[in-house]
């Protein structure tokens, strides 16, 4: 309860932006007993240089209290003066600041350590691993393992920086709240709505491929029907309650984690027994370095860092496209999207200062293990040139299904296809959860319509759930009008929004560290519960990495639209924030 009460107090203190955080804290402190006010005055005297920064409302409050003390006032008189000061100060604040000061007391802190760990882990293990890995492997061959290691390092630094802020100040608004407090109110608006937009696109990607897994058993069922069915199921799951959601997501994530482990064990058995596949190739890790008999692509890094190759993944076809390690990195980065979800859960965690660090440290290593080890086993059993090829029924299946199809174990393939379907459902489940909480937080800050900040009887922001689901459904309808291009283009736009989000996290973290250093000194940095080592250099590295990623995306036709959309989308968000501010002032 001490942690929860501390958060409630912080909510009120943090209503102002980062530049006025101390000023508002001093002014609001006048609502306390005279003795507490004198502590603030003493602190200002000790700090010396900060005394001149007290806002006019705070000076008036201190003058009133000093005068009252000289005439030995009663407690009620001091409280009356403080109340009058608070009233005058409140009139000077705009609507957004007042809303931001409201504590999130209605959100239930029901998520345990195991819930948070599996929610974050489940949010990142989805189509990027089970479906998108086929594309990334075709772009760079076995060296995709290096791409996942490099991408994993970048994501680790991002999530680690976010974990530092979340452990210090757990908030359900995460990115938006920290950007608003430590950067600027407008940055919080842009960060929050960009994150929501990003996860709407992630949801569209998940629903656009859900039919692929259903059609493995029922080819006659159209993709749109599968998408509509699971959309309804996930909406009901999110409305049941946060504890129920956490429990459902725990088991959904656990299913795919156990399945990946079993797949790795099964693949290793095939490798040990040198099982021969349908292409006449025996399972062996030597396949990761072998020369290809099907075309010019061969070796561990067949296309180098970047090169122009023929249209087919195996080196055939008349058209050309870019391939190589750096090109595959774009797809790899998208597969890691969702790991930052751990910070959104902080607002509903039972013990965020304990669970957030554990989740952050645990997620990144488990993800790297699942991605790198699992894909190494797959490419050892199935020659990478054949990954992503349609099966005998003409259906393109996940590489995790293809590994068992290739050695004639069709029952295991069916089971893994079910796991792939579960993974997609899990990711969308987490996406809808995060979107509803982000809309709730934006509403409490005054950066979204007020109705999005209302909770139902179970403490769920149901309006945010319905709005996010409706927008996603409308987008999926549009997606199915262009099924041949939907996945790649949605993936590119979602990656562009993710680049913005990750970049803003790094910049916000630099502002956060600067704020701590200015107000608490080096001692404040040392007291951080979950400190990021080499924070200054890490943030710069992440920002440069995001710039390089955007540059690479520009040279890939399918992703170029995302790079072009980034400045347009940022300009639109900036304009929306300006109009929002004018509306509030009016």
Identify the band that residue 422 occupies on the pLDDT scale cut at 50, 70 and 90.
confident
* Beta partners for residue 321, in sequence order: 309
Identify the band that residue 586 occupies on the pLDDT scale cut at 50, 70 and 90.
low
Minimum mean pLDDT range among 151-165, 484-498, 514-528, 558-572: 484-498
The percent of residues in the chain predicted with pLDDT above 70, rounded, is 74
Give how far Cα 251 sits from Cα of 108, 256, 264, 425, 430, Å. Answer: 20, 9, 20, 12, 13
Asked if pLDDT for residue 566 goes beyond 90, the answer is no
Mean per-residue pLDDT of the chain: 75
Q: What is the pLDDT of residues 488-521, one digit of tens each?
A: 666 667 777 889 999 999 999 999 999 999 999 8
Q: What is the pLDDT of residues 110-148, one digit of tens each?
A: 777 788 877 777 666 766 677 678 888 888 889 999 999
- What is the rounded average pLDDT of the residues 199-227? 84
Q: What is the pLDDT of residues 445-493, one digit of tens each?
A: 888 888 998 888 888 889 999 999 999 888 788 777 776 666 666 666 7
Q: Which residues contact 458 (CB under 8 A, 6 or more apart)?
A: 239, 240, 241, 242
Structure tokens given for 271: 């490798």
pLDDT at 117: 76
Identify the band that residue 316 occupies on the pLDDT scale cut at 50, 70 and 90.
very low
Structure tokens given for 504: 């803003």
- What is the rounded average pLDDT of the residues 235-251? 85
pLDDT at 397: 73
Question: Domains (ranges, CATH) in the chain?
Answer: 17-92 (no CATH), 115-585 (1.20.1740.10)
Is the pLDDT higher at 242 or at 101?
242
H helices of 273-398, in order, are 325-335, 341-344, 352-368, 374-381
pLDDT at 550: 92
pTM of the entire predicted model: 0.74
pLDDT at 60: 41
Closest CA to 448 of 180, 225, 91, 159: 180
Asked if pLDDT for residue 571 goes beyond 80, the answer is yes
**Strand runs labelled E in 219-353:** 307-310, 320-323
- What is the rounded average pLDDT of the residues 535-548? 93
Q: What is the pLDDT of residues 375-384, one digit of tens each?
A: 999 999 888 8
Asked if pLDDT for residue 433 goes beyond 70, the answer is yes
DSSP string covering 356-384: HHHHHHHHHHHHHIIIIIHHHHHHHHS-G
pLDDT at 105: 44
Return d(Cα 7, Cα 104) in angstroms, integer.
Answer: 9
Taking phi over 0 as left and psi of -120 to 50 as alpha, with beta for the rest, 548 belongs to alpha
């Amino acid at each position: 309860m001490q942690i929860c009460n501390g958060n409630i107090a912080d909510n009120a203190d943090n209503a102002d932006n980062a530049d006025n955080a101390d000023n508002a804290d001093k002014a609001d402190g006048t609502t306390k007993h005279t003795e507490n006010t004198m502590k603030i005055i003493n602190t200002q005297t000790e700090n010396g240089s900060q005394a001149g920064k007290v806002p006019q409302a705070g000076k008036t409050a201190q003058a009133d209290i000093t005068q009252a003390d000289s005439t030995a006032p009663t407690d009620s008189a001091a409280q009356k003066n403080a109340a009058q000061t608070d009233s005058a100060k409140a009139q000077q604040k705009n609507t957004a600041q007042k809303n931001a000061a409201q504590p999130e007391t209605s959100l239930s802190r029901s998520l345990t350590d195991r819930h948070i760990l599996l929610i974050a882990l489940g949010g990142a293990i989805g189509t990027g691993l089970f479906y998108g890995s086929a594309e990334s492997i075709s772009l760079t061959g076995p060296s995709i393992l290096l791409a996942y290691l490099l991408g994993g390092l970048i994501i680790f630094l991002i999530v680690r920086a976010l974990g530092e802020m979340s452990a210090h100040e757990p908030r359900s608004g995460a990115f938006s709240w920290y950007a608003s407090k430590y950067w600027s109110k407008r940055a919080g608006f842009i960060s929050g709505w960009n994150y929501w937009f990003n996860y709407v696109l992630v949801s569209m990607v998940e629903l656009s491929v859900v039919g692929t897994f259903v059609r493995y058993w029922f080819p006659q069922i159209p993709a749109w029907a599968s998408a509509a069915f699971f959309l309804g199921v996930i909406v009901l799951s999110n409305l049941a309650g946060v504890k129920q959601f956490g429990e459902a997501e725990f088991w959904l994530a656990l299913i795919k984690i156990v399945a990946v482990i079993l797949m790795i064990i099964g693949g290793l058995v095939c490798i040990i027994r040198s099982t021969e596949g349908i292409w006449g190739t025996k399972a062996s890790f030597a396949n990761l370095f072998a020369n290809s008999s099907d075309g010019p692509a061969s070796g561990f890094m067949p296309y180098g860092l970047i090169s122009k190759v023929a249209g087919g993944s195996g080196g055939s076809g008349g058209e050309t496209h870019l391939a190589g390690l750096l090109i595959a990195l774009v797809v790899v980065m998208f597969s890691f999207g969702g790991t930052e979800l751990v910070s959104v859960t902080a607002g509903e965690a039972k013990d965020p200062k304990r669970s957030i660090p554990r989740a952050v440290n645990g997620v990144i290593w488990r993800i790297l293990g699942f991605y790198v080890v699992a894909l190494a086993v797959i490419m050892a059993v199935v020659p990478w040139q054949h990954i992503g090829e349609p099966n005998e029924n003409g259906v393109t299946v996940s590489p995790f299904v293809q590994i068992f199809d290739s050695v004639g174990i069709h029952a295991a393939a069916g089971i893994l296809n079910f796991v792939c379907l579960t993974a997609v459902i899990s990711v969308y489940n987490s996406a809808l959860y995060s979107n509803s909480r982000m809309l709730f937080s934006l509403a409490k800050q005054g950066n979204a319509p007020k109705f999005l900040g209302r909770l139902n009887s179970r403490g769920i922001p149901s309006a945010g759930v319905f709005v996010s689901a409706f927008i996603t459904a409308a987008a999926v309808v549009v997606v199915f009008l262009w099924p041949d291009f939907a996945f790649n283009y949605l993936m590119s736009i979602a990656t562009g929004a993710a680049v913005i989000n990750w970049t803003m996290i790094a910049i916000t973290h630099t502002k956060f560290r600067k704020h701590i250093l200015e107000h608490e000194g080096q001692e404040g940095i040392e007291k951080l519960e979950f400190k990021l080592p080499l924070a200054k250099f890490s943030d710069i590295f992440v920002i440069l990495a995001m710039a390089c990623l955007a540059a690479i995306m520009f040279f890939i036709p399918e992703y170029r639209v995302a790079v072009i959309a980034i400045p347009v989308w940022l300009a639109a968000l900036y304009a929306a924030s300006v109009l929002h501010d004018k509306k509030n002032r009016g």
